[in-house]
C-alpha cells in the first residue's frame, strides 16, 4: 500500500456495528482513525492498552474518561491514558472525530470491513 492515500480509498471498519465506523491509517506503532458516529449512538464503556488522543471535527459528543464527563464540539480534544475506562454518547446530529492510538489497534483486524466510500467529511 502507498504511504499516500485519500480517505475515500480506505476500507470502512465496523467498530461497533453501523453506529461506529472507522477508516484507519496504520503505521508500525500508531493508528490514525477517522471515526463516524451515528446520531444518538453510544460507544459502550471500555478500556484498552493503547493510549488514545482525539478531536471532534463535526457534531457533538459527551465523553466520559474515568470520573471526568464533558460535552465536546468541534475542536474539543481528549487524552485517554492506557487502560482507563471511557465511553461516549453522541449528539442527535452524529459526529465525525479523529482518533490516534499507540500502540496500534491491531484488535480491529478481526472486525467486519466494508468497501471504501466517501466519509461524512466537512465540505462534501
Per-residue pLDDT averaged across 90-117, rounded? 93
- The pLDDT of 22-29, averaged and rounded, is 95
What kind and span of H or E run contains 29? none
pLDDT at site 2: 82
* Domains of the chain from N-terminus onward: 8-107 (2.60.120.10)
Q: Using the predicted structure, report yes or no on whether residue 56 has a pLDDT greater than 80.
A: yes
Tell me: pLDDT of 38 over 80.
yes
Residue 32 to residues 27, 90, 91, 118: CA-CA distances in angstroms?
A: 8, 20, 23, 17
Q: Is the dihedral of CA 15, 112, 95, 19 positive or negative?
A: negative
Whole-structure pTM value: 0.92
CA gap 21, 36 in Å, rounded: 5
Residue 116 has pLDDT above 90, yes or no: no
Predicted pLDDT of residue 119 = 78
Report whether pLDDT(65) > 90: yes
Amino acid at each position: 500500500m502507498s504511504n499516500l492515500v485519500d480517505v475515500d480509498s480506505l476500507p470502512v471498519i465496523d467498530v461497533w456495528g453501523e453506529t461506529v465506523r472507522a477508516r484507519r491509517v496504520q503505521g508500525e506503532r500508531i493508528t490514525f482513525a477517522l471515526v463516524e458516529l451515528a446520531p444518538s449512538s453510544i460507544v459502550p464503556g471500555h478500556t484498552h492498552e493503547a493510549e488514545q488522543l482525539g478531536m471532534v471535527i463535526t457534531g457533538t459528543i459527551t465523553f466520559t474518561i474515568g470520573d471526568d464527563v464533558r460535552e465536546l464540539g468541534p475542536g474539543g480534544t481528549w487524552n485517554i491514558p492506557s487502560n482507563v475506562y471511557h465511553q461516549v454518547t453522541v449528539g442527535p446530529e452524529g459526529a465525525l472525530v479523529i482518533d490516534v492510538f499507540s500502540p496500534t489497534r491491531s484488535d480491529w483486524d478481526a472486525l467486519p470491513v466494508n468497501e471504501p466510500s466517501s466519509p461524512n467529511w466537512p465540505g462534501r
